[in-house]
Amino acid sequence: MNPVPLFLIVVTLPLLLGGCGEKVVQDHEIEYRKGVAYVKGSIWSYTGKVIGMNSKGEMRSESQLKKGKMISWIGWHDNGKKAGEENYQNGQAYRKYWNEKGEVVSSLGEAMGSVSYDEGSFNDEGIYYVKNSDIPYTGSARSYNNKGQVILTILLKEGKKTQEMKWHPNGKECFIKKYKDGVLLEGSEVYWNNKGEPVDSEEEALK
């Protein structure tokens, strides 16, 4: 029997062990710089898969990034049902969301459950509770203007902020901020003025 050529072992072993060699990191290994994702300590924007785990060690999200920008995202509820899918192509976002029962809803906030921001508050440790509840809130908390339009949405997991979104009075996005364990991910912030033009700070966005 002829021995297997060494070069075949060198070529095929990584494929057998690691699939197609796609990079995979956990979300806590990622940091954002001016809205672009990098593996912490790297000078290169990240291309590959990012996974997020819940407190039980189960996968709660899976994102695909290219040159530091998200091109797709999938999230799951704690019961294993899909919470949402997002795909970004040619500057456009295509989104679909489901609640814990598997019913189609119109936003991630509805998928995760939603309350009015005034129905609860943050304690001294930065944990959000709905009034008269001793359980940290998971879902979205929203503020509305006098026309009933949403002007602020905060997404929370076990009472801690995961994302914050604000809109201008004309309905255009003002900013998006991302959080890890309730702490702002430095560089994750993206801002727009009321014309929809990207700007560098919240102060500029609110002018």
All structural domains of the chain, each given as residue ranges with its CATH number in brackets, are 22-112 (no CATH), 113-207 (2.20.110)
Please indicate whether residue 97 or residue 205 has the higher confidence score (pLDDT). 205
How confident is the model over 40-66, as pLDDT tens digits? Answer: 999 999 999 999 887 678 888 898 999
19: left (phi over 0), alpha (psi -120 to 50) or beta: left
Residue 122 has pLDDT above 60, yes or no: yes
b or e along 114-146 (b: 16 or more beta carbons within 10 Å of the residue's beta carbon)? bbebeebebeeeebbbbeeeeebbbbbbbeeee
Confidence (pLDDT) at 21: 63
Say what the pTM is: 0.53
